[in-house]
Amino acid sequence: MSDKSELDRIDLKNCPICNGIPANMQDAFIDQLDYKVLHVKKGEIIARQGDIVKALYLLVKGSVKTEMTNEGGQVIGIENMKAPRPLAPAFLFAESNRFPVDVTALEPSVIIQIPKEEVMKQLAVNPHFMQGYLKFNANRTQFLSEKLKLMTIRTIRGKLAYYLLHHTASGETSCVLDRNQTELAELFAVARPSLARTIAELEEEGIIRHEKKTVYILNRHALQQLI
Amino acid sequence: MSDKSELDRIDLKNCPICNGIPANMQDAFIDQLDYKVLHVKKGEIIARQGDIVKALYLLVKGSVKTEMTNEGGQVIGIENMKAPRPLAPAFLFAESNRFPVDVTALEPSVIIQIPKEEVMKQLAVNPHFMQGYLKFNANRTQFLSEKLKLMTIRTIRGKLAYYLLHHTASGETSCVLDRNQTELAELFAVARPSLARTIAELEEEGIIRHEKKTVYILNRHALQQLI
DNA sequence: GAATAAGTGTAACAACTGTTACACCTGACT
DNA sequence: AGTCAGGTGTAACAGTTGTTACACTTATTC
């Protein structure tokens, strides 16, 4: 498969797809797995937009960026990803099984490539692996659905209300945000000053109050009305 | 498992998850499957928001609506679904495995419930079923990703440009839309008159032209600039 | 073929959001 | 303590979109 020194450094237990495999079975799992190890330098291209996805790509070390370029050569969207995580696992089994983006290493990185047939075999043989795979996809679907729901709310007030209500445990009247204002604005896909203004408005109206990253919900009902 | 008259009417070959199973194996597949058949009348509730998802729900006949209600009892979002298709298959394996919505029958409908353990068994035993399941989830992820990309484009011009470019085969200069203006506006989550105005503007600028549902792209480069 | 529904084009105005620019605060680092 | 970067509050103005309303055209139905 590969030299043993490599295997020692591969940490699957933190990889979303494989972390369901019990610790005492992980070595056995790796040993019997048919895969390739890919070492890339900084700036090296791992996959190109349009390439057919023939294997499951697990980024086990390093970080990569993904870029989408249109027909005119312009770069449209960029996203960065850090190990450990699978790259585009959904595209392995999708009808259109081509990389939608260019994948480039941001630093020296290690990627494991598991051929599709091997993935299917393991899915059938190893229920932990199957659970992990299904769970990852399921979680991703939920994540995307949630985000989409947020995006279909048109006003910033609405998005903020939705976000706050969903981040406050029922019964609680406050929550601690895990993002700063800039990141929140990005999540909402709105401009940062616009978000700041909306927050200020809601505070003026006595609906919320905030100190640093803690938000107090003073009028839950009013918040619900905003969605 | 159930009376034979039922089985005759169950059409799995058009169900997204099961359609990969060869026709000559479908009967055998159904026979050995452990499942429950659920008949519901119009208006009957099939699942409630918050219920734990313990089985794969396949809507094989009829249609349902899904509603999300907030804590205040207000209905927020509604979506209709027609047979045959699975209901919330992602939630069966997700970390948070609860129905996010109320599911209500819109007409007399038939739902097959396959317990989670049985689904896992079949996934391990039947590679066609597994492929179908993975493919469905993968396609759904792609669909959601695409939609999300569309939503993060802030301007209507941008959304329209993105949509048109992605619905025109490379090399072609025209495409036939499969939605009317109202549906397109819903997809973009914008107001219908606003979309109409934007279309009119792009026509005035000589970038596109349209007759009924056929759109001609007169200046592809300008469209790309709009994204 | 008349009646009805569905879809589209358009306009004026209100409402909301983005842009840009700058002041201020805070914590980290030296 | 001083410097610097990151994060936040705020304001004026421009730009975009939503709202509402209505005319008009095109399908559909009986």
Q: Report pLDDT digits (tens) over A108-163.
A: 999 999 999 999 999 988 889 988 999 998 998 888 888 888 888 889 999 999 99
Q: Residues near B193 by Cβ (< 8 Å), separated by ≥ 6?
A: none
Selected residue of A93, A148, A154 to mutate for chain B interface (largest B Cβ count, 10 A): A93
**Which residues on chain B are in Cβ contact (under 8 Å) with A71?**
165, 170, 220, 224
Question: Residue B7: its pLDDT value, please?
Answer: 46
Q: Residues near A215 by Cβ (< 8 Å), separated by ≥ 6?
A: A164, A174, A175, A176, A177, A208, A209
Distance of B194 CA from C13 C1′ (whole Å): 14
Express as a percent the part of chain A with pLDDT over 90: 38
Selected residue of B92, B145, B219 to mutate for chain A interface (largest A Cβ count, 10 A): B145
Instruction: Report the alpha-carbon angle A183-A187-A193, nearest 5.
Output: 60
Question: Residue A103: its pLDDT value, please?
Answer: 92
Question: Residue B117: its pLDDT value, please?
Answer: 92
Distance CA B68, CA B79 (A): 9
Question: Residue B61: its pLDDT value, please?
Answer: 87
DSSP assignment string, A31-92:
HT---EEEEE-TT-EEE-TT-B--EEEEEEESEEEEEEE-TTS-EEEEEEEESSEEESGGGG
Question: Residue B160: its pLDDT value, please?
Answer: 95
CB pairs under 8 A between A and B: 125
Distance of A176 CA from D3 C1′ (whole Å): 31
Question: Residue B55: its pLDDT value, please?
Answer: 95
**Cβ of B194 near strand D (distance < 7 A):** yes
Q: From the CA of B225, how many Å to the nearest CA of chain A?
A: 9
Distance CA A178, CA B138 (A): 29
Q: Does B141 sit within 8 Å of A144, measured CB to CB?
A: yes
Strand runs labelled E in chain A: 36-40, 45-47, 55-61, 63-69, 75-82, 85-87, 102-105, 109-115, 174-176, 208-211, 214-217
CA–CA distance from A115 to each of A7, A15, A57, A118, A157 (Å)?
18, 17, 9, 5, 47
3-state secondary structure B175-226: EECCCCHHHHHHHHCCCHHHHHHHHHHHHHCCCEEEECCEEEECCHHHHHHH
Contact A42, A19 (CB under 8 A): no
CA–CA distance from B175 to each of A103, B168, B170, B221 (Å)?
30, 5, 11, 16
**Cβ of B152 near strand C (distance < 7 A):** no
Measured in whole angstroms, how far is the alpha carbon of residue B125 from the centre of its chain? 27
CA dihedral (A191, A197, A200, A206) positive or negative: negative
The beta-carbon neighbor of B141 closest among A124, A127, A140 is: A140
pTM of the predicted structure, to 2 decimals: 0.83
Residue B111's identity, in one-letter code, is I
The DSSP secondary-structure symbol of A170 reads T
Q: Residues near B177 by Cβ (< 8 Å), separated by ≥ 6?
A: B167, B184, B213, B214, B215
Which positions of strand C lie within 7 Å of protein CB atoms?
Answer: 7-12, 16-21
Residue-averaged pLDDT of chain A: 86
Residue ranges for chain B with pLDDT beneath 70: 1-11, 69-78
Neighbours of B124 (CB within 10 A): 16
Exposure string over B67-103, b if 16+ CB within 10 A, otherwise e: ebebeeeeeeeeeebebbbbbbbbbbbbeebebbbbb
**Cβ of B49 near strand C (distance < 7 A):** no
Question: Residue A9: its pLDDT value, please?
Answer: 55
Residue-averaged pLDDT of chain B: 86
Contact B44, B61 (CB under 8 A): no
Reduce the DSSP state of residue B85 to 3 states and report it: strand
**Which residues on chain B are in Cβ contact (under 8 Å) with A154?**
189
Does residue A224 register a pLDDT over 90? no
CA–CA distance from B131 to each of A134, B21, B30, B117 (Å)?
12, 9, 17, 18
**Cβ of A193 near strand C (distance < 7 A):** yes
Q: Give the model confidence (pLDDT) of A159-175 as tens digits.
A: 999 999 988 887 788 88
Task: Tell me the Cα Rg of chain A.
Answer: 22
**Cβ of A196 near strand D (distance < 7 A):** yes
Q: Name the strands in the sheet holding A214-217, side by side, starting at the edge strand that comes first in the sequence.
A: A174-176, A214-217, A208-211
Q: From the CA of A9, how many Å to the nearest CA of chain B?
A: 28
The residue-averaged pLDDT of A21-50 equals 89
Question: Residue A96: its pLDDT value, please?
Answer: 87
Q: Give the model confidence (pLDDT) of A60-77 as tens digits.
A: 988 898 887 655 555 556
Q: Give the model confidence (pLDDT) of A181-199 as tens digits.
A: 999 999 998 999 999 999 9
Question: To which H or E segment does residue B67 belong?
Answer: strand B63-69
